Structure 1
């Protein structure tokens, strides 16, 4: 997917992508909080950056695999077939080594609304926040 660095960042910050999540995606800097990581991961899906999704996924995540080719293809297929409409942060529980972010992702595949609410869990490992898992909320 072609995405201009001068467009608004998909995370909803109202900043340009190049001044918001792109430095995280390029590993120039790392998110200081799990909330920043969560938003940058949403943006990575929106711009089809599978490398960043894989890099920021904890090895205890159910989707984690050492088959990087298959994992990359799965992520890119999801990104290609999904329209990332909006991200809303509902709750952020900040901790030193474990944090939780509850969010609503508004997504569409073709004209089907596949939006969801998730409470995500993040762990800080060697100074870097990683996505561990999440629970869907009805």
Structure 2
């Protein structure tokens, strides 16, 4: 495996960062780790992981193919974590605010989102946009 930084921006390589979470979701000890692993899953267009890491109450099962197709159609640039609340190992919920940069049709775009995360079956999941 490459020794370059993980897709999520961590100085660790993919195998020791998001790759560990992709192979076992329980390795995401914090909401931020899960959010970073989801960003890497978008970079890799890993629809199965994106669905698995999405809370069952808000999981968009019918949209999986569209999500994968879109993820493959853009060029991911970088992830910046801006803020977080709760979301530690001992918490059951938390939020992460981030900017995800990508190129689409030759134009730099950014997703600015405050995401809500909640534990389900004792592991972190993405719930949706935070209120």
Distance 1:97 1:49 in 2: 25
| Structure 2 counterparts to residues 31-42 of structure 1, below 5 A | 31-42=28-39
Instruction: Report whether the alignment pairs 1:113 with 2:108.
Output: yes
Structure 1 residue runs without a partner (length 5+): none
Residue pair 1:86, 1:107 contacting (<8 A) in 2 also: yes
Residue pair 1:44, 1:53 contacting (<8 A) in 2 also: yes
Deviations 1:54-73 (A, max 9, x none): 00001232x523x4xxx331
Which residue in the other structure is 1:73 paired with?
65
Structure 1 moving runs of 4+ over 2 Å: none
Distance 1:111 1:28 in 2: 34
Distance 1:28 1:85 in 2: 24
TM superposition score normalised by structure 2: 0.87
Which residue in the other structure is 2:95 paired with?
100
Instruction: Report whether the alignment pairs 1:17 with 2:9.
Output: no
Which residue in the other structure is 2:120 paired with?
125
Aligned-partner SS, 1:117: strand
1:89 to 77, 81, 84: 81
Distance 2:5 2:29 in 1: 21
TM superposition score normalised by structure 1: 0.83
Distance 1:34 1:135 in 2: 13
CA-atom RMSD in angstroms: 1.9
